[in-house]
């Protein structure tokens, strides 16, 4: 079928639905299997519904369903990717098709990093008026059928809910049923999708006129009260934020103040001045909806995209809250889901561009390091996938080392951990540096290393013991311990902890001898793993009942 497969190549593709008839006729079928997300939503701390203000990203690029529609990837040079997942709470895939089902590659990448993904249900212009009249102006059976189908679609494709955007005038009958439709949709999504969300876009008012408010008002509050949040329009000033905060009451973090990165209309700041808008939003304790951050790619061009993307998010860093990983194993080779080559065990297996966001791995903290430290992506060399993590900086004069925070963690430490690190030093003076991992734990009077002779660490920092050879039961898993391959160095470590809570994972770069001059370094990270020894001993389950069908040999 042309909806699920590219007519030119037969490759499976992600798709949208264009009409109310398509929505009501939708049934899951076996051609949909490729579109079902294979990655469950990872747990993270703090959870979505904590008290602190949230950050939503709404991705809108050139009509949507570009190269990201190819479920098994494509040979795209310089594609758009998003990787600052540690700093955001919700990701919306937006297009102007009536029912935007997020391409599954986005759901996989977001879920792997703990971020829920919403599709978009939008009606616009006169066609939108007719569509709304058809399902909202009659009895409840009609709008119940629509909300049930939307919830079923989210449940089937395993994304997390909907942005609802009614951008057309409504009749009195239709607008009268709209809050009830939103309530029913929200209840259906909550019951079908654990942690599901429905967010309303600031557009029509309770009398049916289309007039963007740029704030929460008495005229649009009825829709906010019926669902999980309000995404405001973009042309607000500080007084709008003050009134919104007052009117929202205890639900003020459910207001996502719209910030258009393209800065269309009368806005405070967009582009590289987006921080001015975000600063004001945060001053009033509200959540933010950053719309079309693909501006970096579309406006500034593809060539220098990764550098410009880090600059854009770096400017927002002080207003963004980070999220912690709270489950093990933690394993990543930092791949962005794209590259100019494919690497395996440090060796280039295949040259040529590729793009597949489903292959993006867990992403670290990027924005921490002002001044003398920086973290960026390196496409020229990798251990596995398409990229490695480039850590650059200097060790100040007469100091021994620097620690670079890679991940924030929040979980009870298991009694025994294994850690692995694959790295490569670049530049001059390679023999003067040593590279290792370090874990920090939360302050606790009882937390200590399993090593009885060592005193408790006053600052909760633990350097795992170097493991020259892995235990026989883990030899297969830790096969690369202490080998070099294609000038990559592989190291394994172990750490015994009692009554501890893991807090941070650091990369430690140190000098064998402190130097009177500052010492610059560049280190590529190819892979990092933090493993719970107890759960690693069991061998993984074997694949059963493998079948192949619909083969076409080229």
**Domain count within the chain:** 2
- What confidence tier does 368 reach under pLDDT thresholds 50, 70, 90? low
Mean pLDDT of 36-49: 95
CATH number at residue 398: 2.60.120.260
Does 106 lie in the same domain as 217?
yes
Does 357 lie in the same domain as 224?
no
pTM of the model: 0.95
Mean pLDDT of 363-389: 89
Q: Decide if 250 is inside a domain.
A: no
Residues 506 and 365: beta-carbon distance below 8 Å? no
Q: Decide if 276 is inside a domain.
A: no
Q: Decide if 70 is inside a domain.
A: no
Determine the pLDDT at residue 455.
Answer: 45
Determine the pLDDT at residue 454.
Answer: 45
Does 383 lie in the same domain as 518?
yes
Q: Decide if 156 is inside a domain.
A: yes
Determine the pLDDT at residue 456.
Answer: 47
Does 513 lie in the same domain as 403?
yes
Mean pLDDT of 192-216: 97
Determine the pLDDT at residue 540.
Answer: 72
Determine the pLDDT at residue 251.
Answer: 97
- What confidence tier does 453 reach under pLDDT thresholds 50, 70, 90? very low
Does 339 lie in the same domain as 464?
yes
Does 220 lie in the same domain as 89?
yes
Determine the pLDDT at residue 475.
Answer: 73
| Burial grade of 42 (CB within 10 A; 0-12, 13-18, 19 or more) | middle
For 227-240, b/e burial (b = at least 16 CB within 10 A) is: bbbbbbbbbbeeeb
Determine the pLDDT at residue 422.
Answer: 96
CA–CA distance, 128 with 260 (Å, rounded to integer): 23
Determine the pLDDT at residue 447.
Answer: 72
Domain end (from 188, 216, 233)? 233
CATH number at residue 121: 3.20.20.80
Domain end (from 233, 254, 274)? 233
Tokens of 73: 């990837």
Q: Decide if 105 is inside a domain.
A: yes
Give the 3-state secondary structure of residue 321: coil
Does 341 lie in the same domain as 226?
no
Q: Which domain holds residue 398?
A: 330-532
- CA neighbours closer than 13 Å in the CB half-sphere of residue 13: 20
In degrees to the nearest 10, what's the CA dihedral of 356, 357, 358, 363?
130
Mean pLDDT of 387-399: 95
Query: How confident is the model over 457-499, as pLDDT tens digits?
Result: 556 889 999 988 877 777 777 776 777 888 999 999 999 999 8
Q: Decide if 158 is inside a domain.
A: yes
Query: How confident is the model over 64-74, as pLDDT tens digits?
Result: 999 999 999 99
Q: Indicate whether 512 pLDDT > 90.
A: yes
Does 471 lie in the same domain as 348?
yes
Q: How many other C-beta atoms are found inside a 10 Å radius of the C-beta of residue 94?
A: 21
Q: Indicate whether 451 pLDDT > 70.
A: no
Determine the pLDDT at residue 120.
Answer: 98
Domain end (from 233, 263, 291)? 233
Percent of the chain past pLDDT 90, that is, above it, reads: 84
Determine the pLDDT at residue 445.
Answer: 63
Does 340 lie in the same domain as 221?
no
Q: Decide if 5 is inside a domain.
A: no
Residues 269 and 245: beta-carbon distance below 8 Å? no
Q: Decide if 339 is inside a domain.
A: yes
Query: How confident is the model over 109-168, as pLDDT tens digits?
Result: 999 999 999 999 999 999 999 999 999 998 999 999 999 999 999 999 999 999 999 999
Determine the pLDDT at residue 452.
Answer: 44
Determine the pLDDT at residue 26.
Answer: 97
Q: Under 8 Å CB-to-CB from 257, ≥6 apart: which residues?
A: 232, 236, 241, 244, 281, 286, 287, 288, 289
Give the 3-state secondary structure of residue 277: helix
Determine the pLDDT at residue 56.
Answer: 98
Mean pLDDT of 265-277: 96
């Amino acid at each position: 079928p042309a909806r699920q497969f590219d007519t030119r190549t037969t490759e499976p593709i992600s798709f949208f639905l264009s009409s109310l008839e398509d929505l009501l006729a939708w049934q899951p079928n076996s051609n949909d299997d490729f579109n079902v997300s294979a990655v469950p939503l990872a747990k993270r701390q703090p959870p979505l519904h904590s008290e602190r203000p949230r950050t939503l990203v709404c991705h809108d690029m050139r009509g949507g369903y570009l190269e990201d529609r190819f479920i098994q990837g494509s040979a795209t040079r310089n594609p758009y990717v998003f990787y600052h997942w540690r700093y955001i709470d919700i990701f919306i895939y937006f297009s102007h098709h009536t029912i935007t089902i997020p391409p599954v590659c986005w759901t996989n990448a977001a879920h792997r990093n703990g971020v829920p993904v919403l599709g978009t249900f939008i009606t616009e212009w006169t066609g939108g008026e007719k569509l709304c009249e058809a399902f909202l102006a009659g009895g409840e059976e009609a709008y119940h059928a629509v909300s049930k189908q939307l919830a079923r679609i989210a449940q089937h494709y395993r994304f997390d809910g909907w942005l609802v955007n009614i951008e057309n005038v409504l009749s009195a009958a239709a607008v009268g049923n709209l809050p009830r439709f939103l309530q029913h949709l929200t209840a259906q999504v909550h019951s079908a999708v654990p942690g599901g969300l429905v967010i309303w876009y600031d557009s029509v008012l309770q009398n049916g006129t289309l007039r963007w408010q740029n704030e929460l008002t008495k005229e649009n509050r009825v829709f906010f009260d019926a669902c999980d949040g309000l995404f405001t329009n973009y042309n607000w000033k500080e007084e709008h934020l003050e009134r919104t905060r007052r009117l929202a009451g205890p639900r003020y973090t459910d207001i996502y103040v719209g910030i258009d990165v393209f800065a269309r209309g009368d806005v405070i700041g967009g582009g590289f001045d987006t921080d001015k808008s975000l600063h004001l939003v945060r001053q009033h304790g509200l959540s933010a909806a950053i719309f079309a951050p693909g501006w970096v790619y579309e406006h500034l061009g593809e060539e220098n995209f990764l550098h410009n993307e880090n600059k854009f998010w770096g400017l927002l860093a002080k207003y963004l809250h980070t999220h912690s990983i709270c489950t093990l194993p933690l394993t990543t080779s930092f791949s962005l889901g794209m590259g100019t080559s494919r690497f395996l065990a440090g060796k280039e297996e295949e040259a040529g561009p590729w793009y597949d966001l489903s292959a993006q791995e867990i992403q670290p903290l990027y924005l921490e390091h002002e001044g003398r430290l920086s973290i960026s992506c390196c496409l020229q060399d990798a251990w596995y996938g398409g990229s490695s993590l480039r850590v650059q900086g200097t060790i100040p004069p007469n100091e021994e080392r620097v620690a670079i925070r890679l991940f924030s963690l929040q979980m009870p430490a298991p009694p025994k951990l294994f850690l692995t690190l694959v790295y490569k030093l670049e530049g001059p003076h390679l023999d003067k540096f040593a590279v290792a991992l370090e874990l920090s734990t939360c302050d606790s009077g009882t937390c200590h290393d399993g090593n009885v002779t060592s005193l408790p660490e006053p600052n909760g920092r633990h350097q795992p013991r170097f493991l020259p050879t892995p235990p026989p039961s883990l030899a297969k898993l830790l096969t690369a311990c202490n080998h070099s391959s294609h000038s990559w160095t592989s190291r394994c470590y172990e750490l015994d902890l009692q009554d501890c809570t893991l807090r941070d994972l650091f990369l430690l770069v140190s000098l064998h001898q402190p130097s009177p001059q500052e010492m610059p370094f560049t280190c590529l990270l190819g892979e990092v793993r933090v493993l719970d020894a107890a759960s690693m001993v069991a061998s993984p389950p074997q694949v059963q009942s493998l079948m192949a069908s619909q083969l076409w040999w080229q």
